[in-house]
Amino acid sequence: MTTGDADIKIRILSAAKKLFAENGFDKTTVRQICEEAGANVALVSYHFGGKENMFYALFDYYFPNNQIAELDPMQLDPVEGVRLIVREVTNFRYSDYQLINIIQQEVIMNTDRIEKIRKHVMPMWGKLRYWLKEGREQGLFQFNSLDNTLFSIIGTLLFHRNSQYWAILHEEERSSKEAIVEDLTLFILGGLYYRGE
C-alpha cells in the first residue's frame, strides 16, 4: 500500500467514525462518508470491501485494546489491575468520544455488529473480573455478587458525564481527566471496601 493509499484509507475511516458517531451506522451512507473524506465512493469497496467491513476496520484501527488485552492478569495485583482499568477506560473515553458513541449506539440497538465490538472490549472486562475475584479471595475486596460488582464498575466507568443532558446538575468546574481518574478510582476502591493506600 502506498503512502497515498494509506492516507486516503485513514481519511475514510476518520470520516466514517465521525458520521457513525453523529448519525449511527444505518443512517450514514457510503456517499456521505466519501464526501466527508474527499474520496471516491469506489475506494470504500477497494480498501474495505463495503460499509460493514469499514465499520469493523474502525475498531481494528482506533480501539486501544493491545495494551490491556496482551497483559497477563497475574502480572498485577488486583488493586493495581483495577487502577489500570479505571485509568485506561477513562483515558479512552476522553480521547475518542466518537468511538465511544458508536459503541454505545450499537450496544443499545443490540445490532449484529456488537459481536465485533465484543472481540475488542471483552478481554479488558474479563481481566477486571479476574482482578475482582482475586482481590476478594485475597481479602483485599469485599462484595457479595461478582457479577453485580463487575457490572456496577463497568457502568460507573462508561457513564457519559459530559453530555448536555446532565449540564443542569453540574455545580463545579469541569474536572481534568486526571482528577476524574482519581475520583473514579477512589469511588470504585471504596465500593470494594479496599482499606489499603
pLDDT digits (tens, 9 = 90+) for 109-156: 999 999 989 988 899 999 999 999 999 999 999 999 999 999 999 999
The pLDDT of residue 171 is: 85
- HSE value, Cβ hemisphere, 13 Å, CA-based, for 73: 19
Please state the length of the chain.
Answer: 197
Q: Is the pLDDT of residue 163 over 80?
A: no
Cell 472490549 sits on residue: 121
Confidence of residue 95 (pLDDT cuts 50, 70, 90): confident
Q: pLDDT tens, 24-51? A: 999 999 999 999 999 999 999 999 999 9
Mean pLDDT of the chain: 90
Q: Is the pLDDT of residue 180 over 60?
A: yes
Confidence of residue 53 (pLDDT cuts 50, 70, 90): very high
Is the separation of the CB atoms in 122 and 67 below 8 Å? no
Q: Is the pLDDT of residue 5 over 90?
A: no
Of 81, 90, 87, 183, which Cα lies nearest the Cα of 132?
81
The pLDDT of residue 3 is: 55
The pLDDT of residue 80 is: 95
CA distance 120 to 116: 7
Query: Span 74-79, mean pLDDT?
Result: 91
Domains of the chain: 3-61 (1.10.10.60), 66-191 (1.10.357.10)
Q: What is the CA radius of gyration of the chain?
A: 19
Sign of the torsion angle spanned by Cα atoms 44, 45, 47, 52: positive
Which residues lie below 8 Å from residue 157, measured CB to CB, with a gap of 6+? 85, 86, 89, 90, 93, 184
In the chain, what percentage of residues exceed pLDDT 70?
93
Is the separation of the CB atoms in 54 and 16 below 8 Å? yes
Helix axes 51-62, 30-37, angle to 10 degrees: 50
Q: Is the pLDDT of residue 69 over 80?
A: no
The pLDDT of residue 2 is: 59
Q: Is the pLDDT of residue 162 over 90?
A: no
Neighbours of 173 (CB within 10 A): 6
Neighbours of 176 (CB within 10 A): 10
- Higher-pLDDT residue of 130 and 74 is 130
Q: Is the pLDDT of residue 65 over 70?
A: no
